[in-house]
Amino acid sequence: MGKRVGEMKFAYFLFFLMLFTGVFSTSVLAEGDHLVANFHSQKLSSVKKVELPRALPRFKYDSGLSFPYPDAVRGVYMTAHTAGGYKNYLDYHSGVSTNLYSSGKNFAGIMNLMDTTDLNAVVIDIKDDWGNLTYMPQSDSPLASIGKPYIKNPREMLELFEKKQVYPIARIVVFKDTVWAKQRPDLSFTENGAVWKNGRNESFVNPFLKEVWDHNVQIAIDAAKLGFKEVQFDYVRFPEGFEKRDQTLTYSMGQYKDIELDNIQKRVQAVTDFVAYAKEQLKPYDVDVSVDIFGYTATLPEAPGIGQNFTKISEHVDVISSMIYPSHWTSYFGISKPDLEPYRLVTEYTKVENAKLMKLENRPVSRPWIQDFTASYLGRGNYLNYGKAEVEAQIKALNENGISEFLLWDAANTYTTGVDYTPLNK
């Protein structure tokens, strides 16, 4: 042992002697370069400058499925229950079953529209309006407690879409979440010790809290891993009319508590920050990010109660989808009964939206939600029976104002047949 220690001391002595006498010399290289030296007994014989990569390529997840972006997305909404009908569709076409419904109310009917028209995309609930995950994840998943078997095998469904080249979009309802609000009242809004509900018996979770953000981002990441090509966030907002409740409900403002903003601006900041955060977290998964937004939000500087600012949200997404159903407007744009004038309503809206998006350096794709349902609840004289003419009128108005993409909404998934979805191409 003593001999080895002595040898080591002698080696150290020689090293420092070489260092201070100049036999051993170094040179300073730029960041990213690497110094390689070959030593002889008395001097440094050579120095090689080796270039190292300046930045490693960013990790990108590959789902194994391919969905080229269409010439323009022209899609329809599909509930998870409707989407679950893919299994019946596959069984029929493989000869396992002889039972196939062909109406537009079911999966087969929608696939027929994809096959025979210019429609090419579907928006499917992955987290629904109540907060359920619409398929069963692995039992050890942190999302297992909210899973429902509405879509038996989402990967199998997506493989069918790949074969038919139907562009798949995962709809995730974010802050309207009755299921999780019940499980975690601390992440919700409470009143007199109980989770607050709106007039439709729905509860919301709190947009101020990052734990809520991460819960929804995890669902989005899982959707991307399954193979969805786009994640669409809906209900990215506080409850309607929150400006009348913000002082009476009990809730945490989290990291926004001490920010020097009024409550309106705090809500706008929280909603905008969530969108920016989700977009950043999803970058490695090669999916587009879209957000649904109230149509009237584009006509205001911002919606004070719900925290939506059209311009700020648009700065952080690939696609912005305003819900511009004629039935949902009051007498905006000087149209006293908007549901009776779908072409005029959509035309006037697009003028406002285009003016706002034109100011953005990196403007997102505009892909509005339009109406393919009849709003009989408006009462006699205030609504039309929506069909081919009314749907085409909305699409024509969009196309004439430079908007080629759209999504059709009907909660019952019954879509009008015989529609020309590309009217300006003829």
Residue 185 located in a structural domain: yes
Tell me the C-alpha to C-alpha distance, in Å, between residue 21 and each of 15, 43, 333, 339: 10, 11, 86, 91
Rounded Cα–Cα distance for residues 254 and 377 (Å): 40
CATH of the domain at 223: 3.20.20.80
Question: By the 8 A CB rule, do 308 and 297 touch?
Answer: yes
Mean pLDDT of 25-53: 40
User: What's 158's DSSP letter?
Assistant: H
Residue 302 vs residue 6, higher pLDDT:
302
Tell me the C-alpha to C-alpha distance, in Å, between residue 297 and each of 131, 262, 268, 415: 24, 19, 12, 27
Residue 58 located in a structural domain: no
Q: Which domain holds residue 274?
A: 74-409
pLDDT tens readout for residues 152-171: 999 999 999 999 999 999 99
pLDDT tens readout for residues 123-156: 999 999 999 999 999 999 999 999 999 999 999 9
The β-bridge relationship of strands 230-234 and 365-366 is unpaired
Nearest Cα to Cα of residue 100 among 89, 111, 90, 110: 89
Residue 68 located in a structural domain: no
Question: By the 8 A CB rule, do 82 and 125 touch?
Answer: no
Long-range contacts: 147-155, Cβ < 8 Å, 24+? Answer: 148/80, 150/80, 150/81, 150/83, 150/84, 151/80, 151/83, 151/84, 151/86, 151/124, 152/84, 152/87, 153/87, 154/126, 154/226, 155/226, 155/227
Q: What is the mean pLDDT of the chain?
A: 88
pLDDT tens readout for residues 61-90: 899 999 999 999 999 999 999 999 999 899
pLDDT of residue 370: 98
pLDDT tens readout for residues 50-64: 454 555 456 788 999
Residue 151 located in a structural domain: yes
Residue 414 located in a structural domain: no
Residue 46 vs residue 333, higher pLDDT:
333
> How many domains does the chain fold into?
1
pTM for this one?
A: 0.85
Mean pLDDT of 377-385: 97
Residue 83 located in a structural domain: yes
Residue 403 located in a structural domain: yes
HSE-CB at 255 with a 13 A cutoff on CA atoms is: 10
Residue 20 located in a structural domain: no
Residue 350 banded pLDDT, cuts 50, 70, 90: very high
